[in-house]
Every structure is written in C-alpha cells, then in structure tokens.
Amino acid sequence: MTEPAIVPDSEQRGLLAVLPPGARDFVQLARFDRPIGAWLLFWPGAWAITLAGKALARWDLLLLFAIGAVAMRGAGCVYNDIVDRDLDRKVARTRSRPLASGRVSLKAAWVFLVALCLVGLAVLVALQALVASIVAIFSLALVAAYPFMKRITWWPQAWLGLVFSWAALVGWAAAQRDLFFTAPFLDVWWPGLMLYAGSVFWVIGYDTIYALQDIEDDALAGVKSSARALGGHARAGVAACYLIALAGWSAALWAVRPQVLALVALLPAAAHLGWQVMALKPGDASDALAKFRANRGAGLLMFAACLVVGMTA
C-alpha cells in the first residue's frame, strides 16, 4: 500500500520517527519537532539582552529566555490547536495534527498545556526581575486572544506580531532592571520599544509568507489572513513590513549608539530580508515555507548587530 504524501505540517522524520506513537503525538502537538517557532520567539528577547550590553555579563538571561521560548511556544501551539481543532480539520496542511485527527484527547491537551505553562512560570520566577515579570504577565491577554483573530480580522498576523515580539520588552526590562527607578521612562525604554516595534512588523512579514501556504484552503474554510488580504500584492506587502521593521531596529540601535557604524551593523540582516522578498514565489507553497524558515537566519544576523552595538556602546 502506498503511503500518502506528508504535507509539511505533519512531517515525521529524524528523532520523531523513532519515538513511540504516544510521545510522538505530544511532541507534534507542541511542535517540538519543528523548532523554527521557538527560534522566532527567542530572538526578540535575545536581541534586547544583547543590545543592552548584557550578552556576556547576563548570559544566564539568554539561557532562561531560550528555555522559556521552547516552553511557551509549545504552550501557544497546544492552545492554538485546542481552539482551532475544528478549523484544522478543513485545511490539508493541518488536518493530521494530533488534536484535529483525534490522536490526542482534548483533556490530555489541556493537561499538557498546564504543564508547559508551569515551565514558563518557573522561568519567570528565575528572572528575579519584578518589572520584567509584570511586563511578561501583560502578554497573557494577547496570547489568549490570538487564535480568535483569524475569525474577526484580515490581519491576524499583526496580532501575532504583538505576541511573538513581546519577549523584546521582557528582555529589555530584565537586562535594564537596575535603571527603572533611577532614570526617566523614555531614556530607559526607548531602545526596547523601538526594538519591539520593528519586531512586530518583522513577524507580520514572515507570517504573511507562511500564510501563503494555506491561501486556497483558508478561503474555503473562511479563515482570514494577511496573505488573502494582500492577494497579488503579497510580495509588496512583505517588503513594506520588512522596511518598517528595519526602520524600527535602526532607531533602536541608534538610540544605544548614535553613530553610522551602528546602522552598518544592520546591513547583513537588511540584505537577508531583501533576498527573501526578491526570491519569494507567492504561488509556491514549498518556497513560502523555505522563506519563512529562513527567518531563523535573519534573527541571527539581527542578534549579531545587537551584539556588536551593545558591546561597543
């Protein structure tokens, strides 16, 4: 009997292929088998810590943010699948997900979600930074509302940008915790806010690319997305988002080090984003997935820019 083709969202290869079926289902439910999402959640927080000049002195923050990114991205995926389990059955790429297919029960998914959230809570406590903890808690409302955005707005990617970039604010607060009560608000927060704003538009851009994979199925299922809203102007829309992202990041780097060299450090990341736009094939789902995944590299290049500027400021 010939095995059916496996769509990208249900790939079973590498270590995942040798796991027992039960364990494999929970790994897939949290997307641990596809770490790109954890990387994309981690980068904004890592940028903030390095831009604050704390990459070496507070390397423990980077480690905590990495653990938190894996746990909370997993929790977000489980929650999203709980909310979207009926919609997922209508989309070819997602109908084989553990909840949509019935391989994992709703009760087990909720238990798993709570366990992942407890890991996130442990990370929050380990930060030992009151302001950062308060900022992190404020993100919960955004996270809870996200799965419903595709039902009420054509731009759920913008909401995801608010959610996936929040680590920039938490990271900045954790790295600058000693300054909050001794310096004016904007003097402390401006670089972090600009880093966050740039990251929001970066997320909108790359998630629009991701949504290109499902544009036909989303239309049939009634799911809204920026890819559907932009239609034939998807490449231009992504380009505009990336340009705004670069403007925000430039403002953040300039606020820390107001010299042309700070902006030069951003050129590799800018070139990478430009390549994505120029090489994007909007009608090719495989290409859209590849370009989306390439943002792990874009995040690394931005991390390098923040590291250079933060260490030399």
Averaged over successive runs of 10 residues, the pLDDT of the chain (313 residues) comes to 42 66 87 93 97 91 95 94 86 83 92 95 89 89 90 92 96 81 74 97 97 84 88 94 98 95 95 97 92 97 96 82
Q: What is the rounded distance in angstroms from the CA atom of residue 111 to the CA atom of residue 311?
A: 43
- Written in H, E and C, the secondary structure of 210-277 is HHHHHHHHHHHHCCCCHHHHHHHHHHHHHHHHHHHHHHHHHHHHHHHCCCHHHHHCCHHHHHHHHHHH
pLDDT score of 6:
38
pLDDT at position 178 is 64
Q: Are 94 and 88 in contact (CB under 8 A)?
A: yes
Output the pLDDT for position 51: 96
The span from the CA of 19 to the CA of 36, in Å, is 20
Residue 181 has what pLDDT?
61
| Tokens coding 114 | 């709570």
With DSSP H G I counted as helix, E B as strand and the rest as coil, what are the percentages for the chain, rounded to 5? 80, 0, 20
For the chain, domain boundaries: 23-312
> Which CA distances in Å does 213 have to 139, 182, 193, 225?
28, 49, 31, 11
| Distance between CA atoms of residues 156 and 31, nearest Å | 20
In sequence order, which residues have a C-beta less than 8 Å from that of residue 124 and are 6 or more positions away? 68, 133, 136
Which candidate, 11, 128, 10, 136, places its Cα nearest to that of 60? 128
DSSP 282: T
| Amino acid identity at 140 | L
In the structure encoding, which two tokens stand for residue 63, read together? 């480690």
pLDDT at 223 (0 to 100): 84
Task: Report the C-alpha gap between 144 and 76 in whole angstroms.
Answer: 9
CA 62 to chain centre: 16
Give the pLDDT of residue 3: 37
pLDDT at residue number 11: 52
Residues 6 or more apart in contact with residue 232 via CB below 8 angstroms: 282
- Gap between the Cα atoms of 145 and 236, Å rounded: 28
Q: Does domain 23-312 have CATH number 3.40.50.300?
A: no
CA pair distance 257, 218, nearest whole angstrom = 44
The pLDDT of residue 4: 37
What DSSP state is assigned to residue 3? P
